[in-house]
Structures are given as C-alpha cells and as structure tokens.
Amino acid sequence: MAARRALKAVLVDLSGTLHIEDSAVPGAQEALKRQLRSAPVTIRFVTNTTKECKRDLLERLTKLGFDIAENEIFTSLTAARNLLEQKQVRPLLLVDDKALPDFTGIATDDPNAVVVGLAPECFHYEMMNRAFRLILDGAPLIAIHKARYFKRKDGLALGPGPFVAGLEYATDTKATVVGKPEKTFFLEALRGTDCAPEEAVMIGDDCRDDVGGAQNAGMRGILVRTGKY
C-alpha cells in the first residue's frame, strides 16, 4: 500500500453501514454528525445499491435522520450510466424499476448490451435467456456490481453476483464490472475532492468489496461490525 498521508477524504458505505433497508444502524446518525462532520475531511457516501435511484435513496436517508446532500452520494448506477454513455450502447436493463430514473435518456430499444443490477423480478428463465442470447450475439455484459449477497432485515439475501456469474459461465465471456470493488469506482468517487487515494479511507461492512477494493485502489479500509459483517 502507498505510504500514508494526512487524511483528507472519507468514503462511507451506506447499506449495512449506515442503514439496513428502512432502519438506521444504531448510533449511525450521531457518529456521522460528531465524528465526521466535525472533522476537516471531505465525505462521500458510496454505494453499490441498484434497488433505487439516487433521488429515492437520498429521500430514504433523510427520513432516517441523516444529514446528507445529493452531491455527496456516488452510486454504482451513476458509474454504470457513465459507462453506457461512453460506449454509446443500448442496454437491456436488468435493474429494479425504482432504479430506472437514473437511466433516463438512455436508449433501450433494440438492445445491444446487457446491464445487470439487483433485480429479483428479472432473474427468471425467459429474461436470463434473452440476456444470454444477446451476449452470444456479441452484446457486452456489464455488471453494476457482483456482490455475492447483502443484508436485509430478514437475513442475508443473494446479490446480483451469482446471476452475473451464471451468464459469464453460459456465454464463456467476462463481465465489465463498474461498482465496488473495482479500482475505477473508488477513483471516480474521489474525483473533485482534490484528494489522492493514499489520503482517503473507506468505511464499510464488506471486507472484500469495501475494504479490499479500497486497499487495492491505494486507500485505507475500515471494516464495521454491522450489516453483512
């Protein structure tokens, strides 16, 4: 890891770290207010969530009592949209309906790419087979992230990773992953902070996607004992 420097930026995971669905992690609001807001650091809230658009996510967090601005949130949906615009492709979007507003303006007619997020209602044979055929015809497979599982109120639940892996296996191809733990995700989250990776720390509940991904990008990582810990 790069030599340590003075801390200038803190990246904070959301689901499992600050909240679990519609419940805040006990003490999270106070910790954010007292420990981070009072420190001379830039804060970014980074998340792999694909269950809702940024607007709905911010509304959820605000209702839970978190003082967070929209421009402080960087999501894997944002990263995925940026990639689609760069590639100029028309995606078959396997994402939750609540995430669709973050793709407003992206053409989806006659798709020539496949994008997979957390979308349980899409993970059935007909839809997966449609994605499979598109990929066989040359469409790139884009995974918003490949999390194996996440924490819900009723326990752990499958993430999109197993379904992305199934498409990779069936088509003998490799997905482009845009969310955590990809190095580019962390570097993109730091853009505009005037902060080098070795001057940043990542706080999260996933030892691989949060901590490991941040360390691979040159940051320090802190694992919390909440969420999927």
57 is a domain residue: no
Neighbour count for residue 29 (Cβ, 10 Å): 17
Q: How far is CA 102 from the centre of its chain?
A: 13
Split into its structural domains, the chain has a count of: 2
Q: Residue 3's pLDDT is what?
A: 52
Mark whether 98 and 166 lie in a shared domain: yes
68 is a domain residue: no
Long-range contacts of 214-223 (CB under 8 A, 24+ apart): 214/11, 214/181, 214/186, 215/1, 216/181, 216/183, 217/183, 217/186, 217/187, 218/1, 218/2, 219/11, 219/186, 220/1, 220/4
Q: Is the peptide bond before 181 cis (omega within 30 degrees of 0)?
A: yes
Q: What is the rounded CA–CA span in Å between residue 109 and residue 96?
A: 18
Q: Look at strands 73-75 and 176-177 and give their pairing.
A: unpaired
Q: Residue 43's pLDDT is what?
A: 95
State the average pLDDT for the chain: 93
229 is a domain residue: no
Asked whether the beta carbons of 149 and 118 are under 8 A apart, the reply is: no
137 is a domain residue: yes
- Mean per-residue pLDDT for 12-16? 95
94 is a domain residue: yes
- Residue 138's CATH number: 3.40.50.1000
Burial track 189-200 (b if 16+ CB lie within 10 A, e otherwise): bbeebebebbbb
pLDDT in tens, 125-178: 999 999 999 999 999 999 999 989 988 889 999 999 999 999 999 999 999 999
| Percent of the chain residues topping a pLDDT of 70 | 98
Mark whether 158 and 185 lie in a shared domain: no
Q: How far is CA 193 from the centre of its chain?
A: 19
Domain's final residue, options 177, 192, 209: 177
132 is a domain residue: yes
Q: Helix 183-190 vs helix 76-87: angle between axes, to the nearest 10 degrees?
A: 100
Residue of 159, 199, 158 whose CA lies nearest to 48: 159
Residue of 98, 97, 41, 99 whose CA lies nearest to 75: 99
Q: Residue 167: which domain range?
A: 89-177
Mark whether 112 and 151 lie in a shared domain: yes
